[in-house]
Structure 1
Amino acid sequence: MRNAAGLLTVVLLFSGCGLFQGKSGSGNAISFLHEGWEFRQAGGDLWRPAEVPGSVHTDLMNSVIEDPFFRDNEASVQWVGKTGWEYRLEFDGRPYVDTYNHIELVFEGLDTYARVFLNGESILDADNMFRAWSIRVDSLLHPEANVLTVSFRSPIMEVLPRMESMEYQLPASNDQGEKTSPYTRKAPYHFGWDWGPRLVTSGIWRPVFLRGWNDLILRDTRFTQTALNEKQADLMVGLEAEVAASIEAEFRVLVNGKTLTKRVFMLQPGINDLEFPLVIHTPRLWWPNGLGEPYLYDVRVEVLLSGRIADVSQQRIGIRTLELRREPDEWGESFAFVVNGVPVFAKGGNWIPADNFVSRVTRERYEHLLKSCRDAHMNMLRVWGGGIYEHDDFYDLCDEMGILIWQDFMFACSMVPGDESFLSNVEQEAVYQVKRLRNHPCLALWCGNNEGETAWFNWGWKEELPASVWDDYLALFHDLLPGVIREHDFSRAYWPSSPSSNLLDDANSPRMGNAHYWGVWHGALPFSEYEKQFHRFQSEYGFQSFPLMPTVEKYTWPGDRDIESPVMLAHQKHPRGNELIREYMLRDFPKPRDFESFLYVSQILQAEGIRMGAEHFRRIMPGCMGSLYWQINDCWPVASWSSIDYYGRWKALHYYARRFYAPLLLSIEKRSDSLIVHGVSDRLEPVKGLLTVYSLTFDGTVGRSAEIDVDLMPGQSQVCLRLDEEEWFTGLERTESFLRFELNSPGREAVSAMWYPLPYREMKRIDPELTVEVLKAGSTPRLRVRTRYLARGVYVQASGVNGRFSDNFFDMPPGSEKVIHFFPARTTSRKELSKMLRVRSLADAF
């Protein structure tokens, strides 16, 4: 970075070596070039301060444009994406020019079409947001007064001339404007989606730095596990070491601070590919969330020249076996992830970028979102192919939390060009990203694209486009990308598309592969249709809701707060979104009485629908071995399918997910006149418990009850009990009665479920007489909620302070109390918190 004196702050890549000892034996170093940048519109005269890493939109927000996320400002900034922009930095080259024979300028991310000049010399023409770029600059760098310029061309205007010359256009149905995204290696969601704005960014979106070295530099480090048992883990260490001249080098590998192996190699000028074994005795395993500790080893590779450390690589790795098991079974062919020999039912959702301007996403924000997933018992996220390959912090945190990653390559809902330059560009992108991510134990699968296969066969593209377009698709997703995986990450599975049958059946085949089910929502089919789906792995299904009032207040004025206002419609990107939410809502609920109640009921509606799907998919395991709902998070404040809104607030769905993804689940299925009580366990050990069933009225009168001993087997779903519905409601008025189920097992919190015989709109509505009080204040306040009568959708809110609760949006049986914890962003006193607390239920909404 540039300090006040205009000098570079140098960061050593390792410790234990003096920096300035001449050009022989000097330590390698990097210097970030993040301070002192300016930008201007291409051809303009006025230079303004810029932030790097960043984007032109966030730079313009400092003085030129309004926040695109507020009200309907998005429409007024569309010119930004159609304009060229220039960035420049003046910096001094010392001590690099005095110290290093090899000096490289590295851009870890340029968005997207950028020509780079150093001291007036063109040194790079970049055309891919997803690649890192390294240029040797020692012959151009001056001791003082260097000028680095990056000239960005509009991603839209760059592509339009090519499109105009083509006989056909590649489909890009989600682009909210010119359909340019398929031709550009840039995050597709930047061009708009049915949950996100069209904000076509440019800028230096990842770090930029100088790197200096003399004799040797480590270009890549990889760890490949070859064998594992209780006594030892066998790994191969692979290294790419570049040297300037023939030299002997010693390589040491330290694990948790202890040297486990040493090797000496004679290196030749250029890149040297090296490999040698590493043994870790009595290994501790990495486990997915809920199945054990995700243990990580700290591994340090040191390279010594003449006894002095020349370069170092430090990483954390996990020891585990992982496979995508696809074997013939009674339903067709399985599709299950198996970790350390244990079949894992994948519980989680789909991840999109956490901001349209991703340089604003801090490690703290990643941590909040991923902890939210971990705390909801999720063990897998799918990094969806219309976004970005995520920041290192994301994967590091998933390693720590035991969250498996289904990793799409960045292609979504489109076909691809097939020219040699495009394929070469994608190949280099894929090699870079695979090498960057392959050492993460969280990484479970590489997937070619989102919905390309199903789109070709089911969306009319096969009939509308030349057959050569399909040939181009096959060349990329069935040849090039799996070839990259075989060469650079052969131990992991590759899957061509999501959904896919690997071209052996329909892409959404119930017999094999993975599926996206959108009959609910896009097809307007009832939630009960989820229970008719028997796919092998459900990697997308979802339903929309609105964010609650504290979030809506962030992007609206009071006069905007109507579902059909222009501003609210600007934050509803699905063309039928409001219509579908209202249609589904009126199937099950009366019309909400006001705007705030509509927001609240939309979240209950979403949560109940996804609960029905998620519980069904868990009930039919091992026939289905994955439930990843659409979607976890938002990139801006919007009505969407997310369970956590843009500001990190848990929606009702996320609280529901914490219950329907819990290790032990009671799930009630209605078949004809019978109720089937399923017990689902993800535990590695058997669970013995007592299952109690009650039929109750809203005031707590017990109709009948029963008890049964239950033995739940590890990693299985089983039927615990069958009930005759008519028998259990005999003598009770169905409009004011329900069933309650509770499973108690020694040493575990009780697991409960409720079942209602009628939709909410057909049931009697009474005031439950809810109260909430503070039992304990401090950093983690403890609250008690009480109800006199049945309370449904109980929502506790602390107005004026951000935070989440240990549970929320829950049902309470009559005459009950529930203790919950509040995790506030700041400490509050008992008196202050008592004034902030509000509690409501569905009874208040109509």
Structure 2
Amino acid sequence: MIPLREGWTLRVVSGPQVPAGIVGRVAAATVPGCVHTDLLAAGLIPDPFLDDNEQRVAWIGRADWVYETTFTPPQGEADRVDLVCAGLDTVARVTVNGVEVGRTENMHRSYRFDVRSLLRGGGNTLAVRFDSAYRYAEVHRERLGGRPNAYPEPFNFIRKMACNFGWDWGPTLVTAGIWQEIGLHAWSVARLATVRPVVTMAGRDGRVEVHVEVERATDEPLTVRAAVAGGTACVTIPAGRRQAVLTVTVRDPVLWWPRGYGGQHRHRLEVSVSDPDGRVLDIWSRRIGFRSVRVDTTPDAHGSPFVVHVNDVPVFVRGVNWIPDDVFPTRITRQRLAERLGQAVGANVNLLRVWGGGRYESEDFYDLADELGLLVQQDFLFACAAYPEEEPFASEVAAEAAEQVTRLAPHPSLVLWTGNNENLWGWHDWDWQEPLAGRSWGRGYYLELLPRIVGELDPTRPYWPGSPFSGSEDVHPNEPAHGTTHIWDVWNTDDYTRYREYVPRFVAEFGWQAPPAYATLRRALSDQPLAHDCPGMAHHQKAADGDRKLHHGLAAHLPAPADFDDWHWLTQLNQARAIQLGVEHFRSHRGVCMGTILWQLNDCWPVTSWSTIDGDGRRKPLWYALRRAYADRLLTIQPRAGGLALVAVNDGATAWRATASVTRLTLSGEPRAKTTLNLNVPAYDTTTLALPAELTRPDEPRRELLAANAGESAGRAFWFFAEDKDISWPVARWDAVIEPLAGGQRVQVTAGTVLRDLTLFPDRLDPAATVDEALVTLLPGESAAFTVHSPAPLDPAALTTHPVLRCVNDITRDQAT
């Protein structure tokens, strides 16, 4: 394909409230791109991510726009010249030299138009007009009747990235534009329209069924060849036919495994089509992986499990939910994806769930997941709303699903298709049924159309109708004992210790909020001074009653913050505490519970949210807590019916044998009781050992704790007998030694008193600074080292004082030692 990337311009056609300075203005445009990024580059709008500028650019989504360029047609003779549009966002009319060649109304599909007869020898004009997504959606809503959804926006009446219309973590920035590649493809005789490999294992042999569909410009026999890992196959497609299936058998291929279970070996599959003279007309090439995947839902004594098996090995899912990494997708480069997925791997994640209110992720995303051994669960794009099943939506959904299932078929990382996000739950519990009054809401998509398409085109991968879903319409869709569940009452109405009341089979969503990094806030907000309720913070908090819920969550556990610095530190800490408690609890019940998918890994802009990585790509303290809670070897102290127990979780491939010591001691480090336990934990298993009463019954609950240790590979587990706000913390004292390193500094902190959750925030001194560790609890006399990376050395005094170096007990200065 010859990309058409140069010479594009953008202008507004019509729309309400278009600023006078933009009417009649022609701006240079970048393709791929969108209206917002082009106007921003031209200096015509303020940055929508800063302060409340989002509101100042709301008019863009209600205007109509035209992209235009000129081009020279390909040289040489060809039977066909196609205009290939990989992605148009969304309601578009495409013209070549003033002649309409096609219309589109689905962001999630690609389009191809035969334009050969319209081309001239010299300059040619290509124009793409985008009508307002709002107007299109509102017209269909009026025609079909409204449908309930989670937000007062019409996103369920257009096949477009739903979160463009705002979410409880995202801005309302309704985009338009040529968001993926556009170009010309000249070809003759035939081309490969689709290639769909279906990869299975039969014993130790791999089998690849290569389903090929050709598009013809002439009618003559064609030869299709496929080769992978030393195996080959060849077939003739007779004149008048367009489809063929080639089967390639590979003896004992090296398998693809998820990270932590084996290597990520892939094999190059090449498919070609040739004419009767042997001339190769087209070639398709991808890397595939040999592996099997299934989900076990066989009922048992605890209900109905949900266990992902890869190569017949059950995998405990240590997952995170993934949203679009930017409101404007064309700003998401492969390098940025590599960084973000690398951060997931660094936190010991093994699965990404691509959430249904965003997009079908890019080839770069999936290629990186294949390479890193990250499993991927891909939602079909329906989220938090009732969706009409009438035309044109039924046909658009069918075409979109077929294209995306075919496109993603080669990727071994893709292990599960999911029908929707929370819509089955919504129909049951969110007061939809009365306002729907019998109108369609999406059930036919999730339980009929989509499973049929996956079954026909991608039969090797499981399909699950929704997240959450219990496995049967006869059981409530969010029943924890069956299938997958979302746990949101904890954040919305309860304390995070309520996670311990759940022993679910698989937690597909749960989360706790915190603000982004300080440097991220200071870049995005101009408020002086910052406060938890200042205008900028309020605008960048999209969750209903979010600020109150943050304060409610703090009140149960931590001292009241004295100022914004304390509030920022404690809310970030509380998020980390909440999620670590939940994950360790769920993992301690491995066997009954076989997966947790945290909401969420990333953000799409600077915002207070449930993310682990904020909108500028900075790690919150939660990331460090998740790294510990998702480690292959986890040591955790858990309440059980008879008292406290030490639980050792082993998600490694070899048995874990160690001696664990558990000590009850005072805050000053004085031992009160101690025991030694022998751990012998098989691979992919857990061991639970009850702790003796002399350990679990403190003499002074406000002044004592438990500490458990089983070697460096598992870290150290703590249990405090009282909440931080009630503990008699000593005034924090420490000594710090700083030494220079290449590209940074090493900060060695030695505790003079107990230091609870010691954390360093170097981004407060330099936005580019990072640190390798956080949330370290030290007993008196113990030391910890923090490696800080920064472009230039940071002030040593500032590195080791408030508000850069923090611990819980540094805000209890008024308490006696």
* TM bucket, shorter chain: over 0.9
Deviation at 1:200, TM superposition (A): 0.8
Match runs of 1:258-269 below 5 Å: 259-269=230-240
Match of residue 82 from structure 1: 62
Q: Cα offset for 1:695?
A: 1.7
Q: Aligned AA for 1:811?
A: T
Question: How do 1:198-217 and structure 2 match up within 5 A?
Answer: 198-217=172-191
1:239 and 2:212 aligned: yes
Tell me: CA distance 1:750–1:715, structure 2 relative to 1, closer, same or farther (3 Å).
Answer: closer
Assess if the C-alpha contact under 8 Å between 1:94 and 1:143 holds in 2.
no
How far 1:249 moved relative to its partner?
4.4
Distance of 1:154 and 1:276 partners within structure 2: 45
CA gap of 1:693–1:188, structure 2 versus 1, over 3 A, is same
Q: Post-superposition shift, 1:94? A: 3.5
Q: Judging changes above 3 Å, is the alpha-carbon distance between structure 1 residues 780 and 408 closer, same or farther for their aligned structure 2 residues?
A: farther
| Pair 762,487 (structure 1): closer, same or farther in 2 beyond 3 Å | same
Give me the whole-angstrom Cα distance separating, in 2, the residues matched to 1:834 and 1:149. 59
Decide whether the 8 Å contact of 1:675 with 1:725 is kept in 2.
no
Distance 1:315 1:821 in 2: 40
Q: Which residue of 2 aligns with 1:610?
A: 579
Partner of 1:135: 113
Aligned to 1:519: 489
Aligned to 1:15: none
Alpha-carbon distance between aligned partners in 1 of 2:640 and 2:218, rounded to the nearest angstrom = 75
Matched residue, 2:47: 67
Deviates more, 1:639-648 or 1:411-420: 411-420
Structure 1 residue ranges without an equivalent (≥5) = 1-29
Task: Identify the match of residue 395 of structure 1 among 366, 390, 396.
Answer: 366
Q: Which residue of 2 aligns with 1:284?
A: 254
Q: Are the structure 2 counterparts of residues 225 and 94 from structure 1 closer, same or farther at C-alpha, using a change threshold of 3 Å?
A: closer
Instruction: Report Cα offsets for 1:88-116 as digits up to 9, x if no partner.
Output: 01111142xx3322111111111111111
What is residue 658 of structure 1 aligned with on the other side?
A: 627
CA–CA distance in 1 between the matches of 2:642 and 2:250? 58
Q: Following TM superposition, by how much is the alpha carbon of 1:795 offset from its aligned partner in structure 2, in angstroms?
A: 1.2
Structure-to-structure mapping, 1:612-761, within 5 angstroms: 612-671=581-640, 674-724=643-693, 729-730=698-699, 733-744=700-711, 749-761=713-725
CA distance in 1 between partners of 2:266 and 2:737 (Å): 42
Helix, strand or coil for the counterpart of 1:42?
Answer: strand
- For structure 2, the residue ranges without an aligned partner over 5 or more in a row are 15-22, 813-817
Residue pair 1:289, 1:377 contacting (<8 A) in 2 also: no
Change (3 A) 1:320 1:821: farther
Q: Secondary structure at the match of 1:467?
A: coil
Q: Distance in 1 between matches of 2:143 and 2:365?
A: 41
Q: CA deviation at 1:700?
A: 2.0
Which residue of 1 is the match for residue 32 of structure 2?
53
**Match of 2:692, SS?**
strand
Shift of 1:718: 2.3
Quote the Cα distance in structure 2 between the aligned partners of 1:233 and 1:820: 47
**Cα distance in 1 between the residues matched to 2:650 and 2:233:** 46
Contact in 1 for aligned 2:753/2:781 (Cα 8 Å) = yes
Indicate if the aligned counterparts of 1:685 and 1:714 stay in contact, CA closer than 8 A.
Answer: yes
Contact kept in structure 1, 2:679 and 2:687, CA below 8 Å: no
Whether the 8 Å contact between 1:601 and 1:845 is mirrored in structure 2 is no
The residue that corresponds to 1:122 in the other structure is: 100
1:375 is the counterpart of 2:346? yes
Structure 1 residues 285 and 785: CA distance shift in structure 2, 3 A: farther
- What's 1:583 paired with? 552
Give 1:442 deviation, angstroms: 0.8
**2:192 aligned with 1:192:** no
Tell me if the contact between 1:548 and 1:596 (Cα under 8 Å) persists in the aligned partners: no
How far is 1:241 from its partner? 2.6
* 1:12-66 CA-partner distances (Å, limit 9, x unpaired): xxxxxxxxxxxxxxxxxx1111121101111553211011111111111132110
**Structure 1 position 170 matched with structure 2 position 139:** no
Alpha-carbon distance, 1:614 to partner: 1.0
Equivalent residue for 1:572, pick from 538, 541, 545: 541
Aligned to 1:4: none
Q: Is the 8 Å Cα contact of residues 148 and 435 (structure 2) preserved in structure 1?
A: no
Aligned-partner Cα distance in 1 for 2:49–2:680: 52
Equivalences for residues 190-589 of structure 1 within 5 A: 190-230=164-204, 232-255=205-228, 259-269=230-240, 272-305=242-275, 306-469=277-440, 472-501=441-470, 502-522=472-492, 524-559=493-528, 561-589=530-558
Q: Is contact 1:793-1:842 (8 Å) kept?
A: yes
Task: Provide the secondary structure at the position in 2 that maps to 1:636.
Answer: coil
User: Quick check: 1:55–1:204 contact (8 Å CA) kept in 2?
Assistant: yes
| Alignment-derived partner of residue 11 in structure 1 | none
Q: 1:534, CA displacement in angstroms?
A: 2.2
Shift of 1:307: 4.1
Q: 1:553 to 1:236 in 2, by over 3 A?
A: same
- SS at 1:152 equivalent: strand
**Residues 1:403 and 1:216: Cα distance change in structure 2 (over 3 Å):** same
Q: Distance in 2 between matches of 1:241 and 1:725?
A: 75
Distance 1:623 1:391, change over 3 A: same
Please state how far the C-alpha of 1:809 moved relative to its aligned partner. Answer: 2.1
SS of the residue aligned with 1:333?
coil
Change (3 A) 1:653 1:714: same
The answer to whether the Cα contact below 8 Å between 1:366 and 1:394 also exists between their aligned partners in 2 is yes
- What does residue 762 of structure 1 align with? 726
Q: Is the 8 A contact 2:649 2:681 kept in 1?
A: yes
Whether the 8 Å contact between 1:794 and 1:842 is mirrored in structure 2 is: yes
Deviates more, 1:109-118 or 1:785-794: 785-794
Quote how far apart the aligned CAs of 1:454 are. Answer: 0.9
- CA shift for structure 1 position 262: 4.2
Q: Compared with structure 1, are the counterparts of its residues 266 and 223 closer, same or farther at alpha carbon in structure 2 (3 Å cutoff)?
A: closer
Deviation at 1:135, TM superposition (A): 0.6
Partner in structure 1 of residue 815 of structure 2: none
CA RMSD of aligned residues (A): 2.1
Q: Given residue 234 of structure 1, which amino acid in structure 2 is its aligned partner? A: R
Change beyond 3 A, Cα 1:704–1:59: same
- Residue 508 of structure 1 aligns with an amino acid whose one-letter code is N
Residue type of the alignment partner of 2:24 = D
Question: Does 2:796 align with 1:815?
Answer: no
Q: Corresponding residue for 1:3?
A: none
Count of aligned positions: 796
Q: How far apart, in 2, do the equivalents of 1:263 and 1:104 lie? A: 28
8 Å CA contact retained: 2:63, 2:132: yes
